């Protein structure tokens, strides 16, 4: 198998998820910092790999993969890591439903509460959008808390799976953001502590960055 290459700045949340999984899988990667404040992606060399100009992009020999959650599934499948990403359809659906949930339901709260509220970036720094993002993020963390209280110890059940990678990131950011008011969510807090036992989580997610 060829040596993997990951294009994307190490401090971008979509890149950090992939770096965490690479460590869980024990895979070596050559990582290059592309994107905001690093090498610009709006150049023909990068756009030829990803016409959207977003990071991350994974190169596996001649194979080019973009979209962080697709990269997570690609890597787990490549390594035949079936506990992380089950082959059985029902178990696989339990994992994927939480990955899609983060991709769809957490994008606007992250733009409002984090990009607008914490970083003050335009156009997301509009006061109502920040407030809405914080409220929606809190409501969605309560959904996760209820799910974990009902099942657990991981999001899709007994095992750590790909479901925990995007969710683990948004849980970290929720607890790391200074500007939000958090109500106690015991099952979610226990989950955050459980994920924090994993070296890859501490290295790439709960690593001092929000
Ligand atoms: N849906 C895409 C979103 C990719 C994305 O928006 N990445 C951000 C970083 S988290 C980006 O490229 N931002 C522009 C930049 O860093 O220059 C994915 O999951 O990979």
Cα 12 from Cα 19, distance rounded (Å) = 10
CATH numbers and ranges of domains, the chain: 4-78 (3.40.30.10), 89-204 (1.20.1050.10)
Nearest CA to ligand 1 atom 5: 54
pLDDT at 1 > cutoff 90: no
Question: What does the pLDDT look like over 123-167, one tens digit per residue?
Answer: 999 999 999 999 999 999 999 999 999 999 999 999 999 999 999
- Ligand 1 within 6 A of CB of 50: no
Give which of 95, 31, 33 is closest to 69, Cα–Cα.
Answer: 95
Outline where DSSP puts E strands in 41-197. 57-60, 63-66
| CA 158 – ligand 1 centroid, Å | 31
Place of tokens 């016409």: 51
Question: What does the pLDDT look like over 85-109, one tens digit per residue?
Answer: 999 999 999 999 999 999 999 999 9
Ligand 1 atom nearest the C-alpha of 38 is: 17
pLDDT of residue 2: 81
Per the prediction, the chain carries an average pLDDT of 98
| CA 64 – ligand 1 centroid, Å | 16
- Ligand 1 within 6 A of CB of 12: yes
| CA 59 – ligand 1 centroid, Å | 16
How much is the average pLDDT of 32-41?
Answer: 97
Please report, for residues 21, 72, 165, 182, the alpha-carbon distance to residue 85 in angstroms, rounded to integers and kept in the order given.
Answer: 12, 9, 11, 31
Q: 29-32 and 4-7: which strand pairing?
A: parallel
- Ligand 1 within 6 A of CB of 54: yes
Residues with Cβ within 8 Å of 158's Cβ and at least 6 positions away in sequence, in order, are: none
């Amino acid at each position: 198998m060829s040596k993997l290459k990951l294009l994307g700045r190490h401090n971008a949340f979509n890149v950090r998820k992939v770096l965490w999984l690479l460590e869980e899988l024990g895979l070596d990667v050559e990582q290059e910092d592309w994107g905001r404040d690093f090498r610009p992606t709006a150049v023909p060399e990068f756009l030829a790999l990803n016409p959207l100009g977003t990071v991350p992009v994974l190169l596996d020999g001649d194979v080019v993969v973009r979209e962080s959650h697709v990269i997570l599934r690609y890597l787990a499948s490549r390594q035949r890591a079936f506990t992380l990403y089950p082959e059985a359809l029902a178990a696989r659906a339990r994992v994927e439903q939480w990955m899609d949930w983060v991709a769809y339901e957490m994008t606007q709260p992250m733009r409002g509460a984090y990009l607008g509220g914490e970083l003050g970036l335009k156009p997301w720094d509009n006061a109502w959008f920040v407030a809405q993002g914080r409220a929606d993020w809190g409501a969605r963390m309560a959904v996760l808390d209820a799910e974990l209280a009902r099942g657990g110890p991981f999001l899709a059940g007994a095992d750590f799976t790909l479901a925990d990678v995007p969710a683990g990131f948004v849980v970290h950011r929720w607890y790391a953001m200074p500007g939000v008011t958090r109500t106690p969510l015991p099952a979610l807090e226990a989950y955050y502590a459980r994920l924090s036992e994993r070296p890859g989580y501490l290295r790439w997610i709960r690593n001092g960055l929000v």
